[in-house]
Amino acid sequence: MNKVYYTIGEVSSILELPINTIRFWESEFSQLRPSKGKHRIRKYTLGQIELIRKIKDLLYVQRFTIEGARQQLRVEKFVPSKYHGGQEPQSAPEPALPAKRASLDKSPAIPASDLGRIRQQLEQIIALCKQARNE
């Protein structure tokens, strides 16, 4: 399936992301602006899919905030591949399938000495929330 443009549903499936997440990222990242055809259907290029994959990596794997990811894209001067901006060849290559989901589920190791402190702080936060609710 060699395509020039992909629908939001196809992008969602390729990158294993909910459609509403992709739409939200469009409002947060100025670089992500798919063209819209008749009936306002979003059309993503391979370069835009590459950009979404980069945003996903920054947010889910590297644990950046949205603002941090925006800044990182600016610092890296991230420019999607030559397939960005409607410059695609007639027969564009298929985007690579995403890595197994397990790679996203790996969280950074937290030293055991910090876990007790974190747990205590969370319990204090919960107690404050309960106290505020009862007031």
pLDDT of residue 116: 77
pLDDT in tens, 24-43: 999 999 889 999 888 889 99
Residue pair 47/85 in contact (Cβ under 8 Å)? The answer is yes
Separation between Cα atoms, residue 78 and residue 30, nearest integer Å? 12
Instruction: Note whether 60 and 22 are within 8 A (CB).
Output: no
pLDDT of residue 97: 45
- Dist CA 109 CA 42 (whole Å): 39
Which contiguous run of DSSP H or E holds residue 42?
strand 42-43
* End-to-end alpha carbon distance in the chain: 60
What's the pLDDT score for residue 76? 84
What pLDDT is attached to residue 112?
67
Average pLDDT over residues 62-69: 93
Tens of pLDDT along 71-128? 999 888 776 654 444 433 333 444 454 444 444 445 556 676 777 788 888 888 888 8
Q: Which residues pair with 44 in a beta bridge?
A: 6
> Which domains are seen in the chain, by residue range?
8-109 (1.10.1660.10)
Res. 67 pLDDT band, cuts 50 70 90? very high
Residue 9, pLDDT > 50, answer yes
SS3 percent helix, strand, coil of the chain, rounded to 5, is: 60, 5, 40
